[in-house]
Structures are given as C-alpha cells and as structure tokens.
Amino acid sequence: MTYHPLHPYNDLPDLPPKVEIETKIILKKTISASRALSELKGAITTLPNPLLFIDMINLQEAKASSEIENIVTTQDALFQASVAEKFIGNTATKEVIHYKDALWYGLEQTTKRPILTTNLFIEIMQIIKENRWAIRNLPGTQLTNPQLTK
C-alpha cells in the first residue's frame, strides 16, 4: 500500500478484519496473561501502599512515551522528583512528571464519568504542557506539510 496524502483512507481495509484473529495461539497467550495479572493483583494487595506501585508503573510508561518525543531523563531523576515533590530543575524530568500526573488525572476523570470528551483531552494536555491552551479556533488554521501538497 502506498501513502497518498490527498487520497482519503488510503484503501485501508474495513474493520473488523475478515481474517480470524482469535487463533489458538492468541487465546493461549490471553489465558497466560490473565493468570499473570491475577497473580499481580493478589501480590499487590500485600503491599503497605499499593498505589505507590501503580504510580511507579505510570511513571515508567510516562518515561517510555516521552522518549519517543526525544524527552529523555533518568530513573534516578524521576524517583527523586516523585518522592521529594520539590523543585524539579531538569525540564525533561519535569515534563515526564507532568505526563504521569496527566495519566492519573485522565484515569480519575474516566472513572467518575466514563466518557472521553474534547474537554477532557484539553485538560490532560494542559497538565502535560503546564499551560491553559486550548484547541486552535482561528478560521483557516491548517496543519500541512508544504512538500506533500505540491
């Protein structure tokens, strides 16, 4: 399949796929994953503060996702920033912490009201970027690559 920026959908196949995706291999992996999650759930209840463990998982996810955007920090800097809750001098560490906070905020909001809204996404972005920006609303705002529209 070749990408054509002016051709909508680029001949993507319809969903759901016509091939069987619930194969024996997938179902066996699902069973083993389910068992592992059950063991983790049981083990986590023995911890004095289970939220601390979950927070560390969110922190690792925030770190990995931020690295995709070339925002790189260390585990040590993240743990120090998480535990100390003081001034964070490193901008990359600060952004990863905001990303983690935004994950928690999104989870809390969808637990209260399980609906994804534009306003929720704006609030999450504002936590990450630490500003009050919203969606561009100027008429004619267009994000394009001039090289592809020639």
pLDDT digits (tens, 9 = 90+) for 98-108: 999 999 999 99
Query: Is pLDDT larger for residue 109 or for residue 1?
Result: 109
C-alpha–C-alpha distance, residues 109 and 111, integer Å? 5
What is the three-class DSSP state of 7? coil
pLDDT confidence band for 78 (50 / 70 / 90): confident
Q: Are 61 and 68 in contact (CB under 8 A)?
A: no
Please state the pTM of the whole predicted model: 0.61
pLDDT confidence band for 86 (50 / 70 / 90): low
User: Does residue 87 have a pLDDT over 80?
Assistant: no
- Give the ranges where 11-144 is alpha helix by DSSP (H): 24-44, 50-68, 75-84, 91-112, 118-129
Q: Are 120 and 99 in contact (CB under 8 A)?
A: no
Q: Kindly report the number of other CB atoms within 10 A of residue 25's CB atom.
A: 8
User: Does residue 150 have a pLDDT over 70?
Assistant: no
The owner of tokens 């070749």 is 2
